[in-house]
Structure 1
């Protein structure tokens, strides 16, 4: 198990290194000159040159990258080109907001998706099965932005039961925080729940028809015990799906934060792109990628714990 974790950790480190290069080059591929933007309207060549020198934009790309990585390894992601605030401070203020949104969306998606998948598999061919499959198709087909806008029109404009936008910290006002997070969390979690529901149903149906379940059934094991027994083997597939869907969840969070005006990473990245704020974009995207890599590493370890065959295969490589 330890060897398996070390192998996966090494892969994660290499992935993060390659991702840092992609982020660095991708940010600099954005159209426009950040030095010209920062210099204001009708800047003089001297002012533009001074800004390039100040932020190290006059150096070759390899030198800029090595300098950026060296500083990042020391916990220094630079300063914002807008207000000169440290990027780590800005990210520290925005990260809890996005973490709350994505964590709650994952919880909602997993709970609804797994329960709906179990009901659909156990009651195959029934009305509940058709309802669950209809929910799955709906969640997979409807875009997040459309569902968010519809939710605002119905619950905020017509019924006026939930706020249309904004964010309040849980520590400042727990009830206000919950009211403002209900719609974003449900909208973001719907797509994840649909995917998990479909995968849970398919995997559970496969396990329920396996030889070991038929043997247990012939020995008089109850239906509930059969489902519980088969569910653990089905969770390996569900765990993998959650890790794979994390990237889509993060991209969906960017859209949701814009629609509901939530001051998280998504809104920060969009605002940074519009203002050519290189340090903020790099820092936000790099932390997001690092989070994605770490979560997938945890998913791999969890998957190996649930399925010993994978652990043995990794150890024999």
Structure 2
């Protein structure tokens, strides 16, 4: 198991290195001169040259990349071109908001999706299966922005149950924080719940028809134990894999959701940085996102190997 973790960690480091190169070159491949964008179209050539020198844009690309890697490893992500604040402080302020939203959305997705998938598999061909399958189809078809607007119209405007937008830190007002995060979490988690439901149902159907399940039933074990222990445990590998692969979709969905509900998180920060061409913030946001994605997939590989010992013995992965 240790060697498996070391191999996967080495592969993750290679991915992070390649990602850093692509991020560095991709930001500099954006159209327009970043120095001009920072100074303004009407700025004097002297001011543009001073900004280019301040941010090291006048140096060769290999030198810029070496400086970028060195500063990043020291925790220095640069300064925002808009308010001159350290980018690290901005990310530290915004990232917990998105992590909370993502955690609540994933909690919604796991609770609804896994339970619905189990029920659909156990009740295959019955009314509960059709309801769960219909929910999955609807959840996959409805865009986040439309569902968010519909949720605001129903729960905020008509019923007055939940706030329409805004954010309150959990440390300041736990009740107010949860009130404002419930609706965005439901909106963001519904689509992922649909994906989990379909994958859980498919994995459970395969497990319920396996020989070891038939053997367990022939021994007279209760159906709850057969489903909850034997079938579900062997289906969790699929669920864990889907959770890891859905991280990218969760981040992109958070961008839209945070814009709709005016949540000052990572997604809104990304949109604002792109609109203002705030290159240091864009670069840092993409880098942190990639690091998070790689780390989550590494944890998924480890969890997958733990649940399926054949993976770590063969040295493979879930793909």
Match for residue 232 of structure 2? Answer: 231
Q: How does 1:1-317 map to 2 (within 5 A)?
A: 1-228=1-228, 229-314=230-315
CA-to-partner distance for each residue in 1:162-220, whole Å, 9 max, x for gaps? 11111100111111101110111001101111111111111011001001111222222
Give the secondary-structure state (helix, strand or coil) at the position aligned to 1:27. helix
2-structure distance, mates of 1:189, 1:23: 29
CA-to-partner distance for each residue in 1:148-173, whole Å, 9 max, x for gaps? 11111111222222111111001111
**Segments of 4+ moved more than 6 angstroms:** none
CA-to-partner distance for each residue in 1:64-83, whole Å, 9 max, x for gaps? 11111110011111111111
2-structure distance, mates of 1:233, 1:207: 7
2-structure distance, mates of 1:45, 1:75: 32
Quote the offset at 1:31 in angstroms: 2.6
2-structure distance, mates of 1:269, 1:220: 56
Query: Which range moved further: 21-30 or 79-88?
Result: 21-30
Q: How many residues align?
A: 315
2-structure distance, mates of 1:143, 1:28: 32
TM-score (norm 2): 0.96
Quote the offset at 1:32 in angstroms: 2.7
Quote the offset at 1:61 in angstroms: 2.1
Quote the offset at 1:30 in angstroms: 2.4
1-structure distance, mates of 2:57, 2:185: 40
Give the secondary-structure state (helix, strand or coil) at the position aligned to 1:75. coil
1-structure distance, mates of 2:234, 2:41: 63
1-structure distance, mates of 2:138, 2:28: 38
Q: CA RMSD in A?
A: 1.2
Give the secondary-structure state (helix, strand or coil) at the position aligned to 2:246. helix
Quote the offset at 1:41 in angstroms: 4.6
CA-to-partner distance for each residue in 1:101-141, whole Å, 9 max, x for gaps? 11111111111111001111111111111110011011111
1-structure distance, mates of 2:29, 2:193: 35
Give the secondary-structure state (helix, strand or coil) at the position aligned to 2:315. helix
2-structure distance, mates of 1:212, 1:40: 69
1-structure distance, mates of 2:27, 2:103: 27
1-structure distance, mates of 2:276, 2:33: 10
Give the secondary-structure state (helix, strand or coil) at the position aligned to 1:160. coil
1-structure distance, mates of 2:216, 2:37: 70
Quote the offset at 1:46 in angstroms: 1.2
2-structure distance, mates of 1:41, 1:276: 13
1-structure distance, mates of 2:58, 2:275: 22
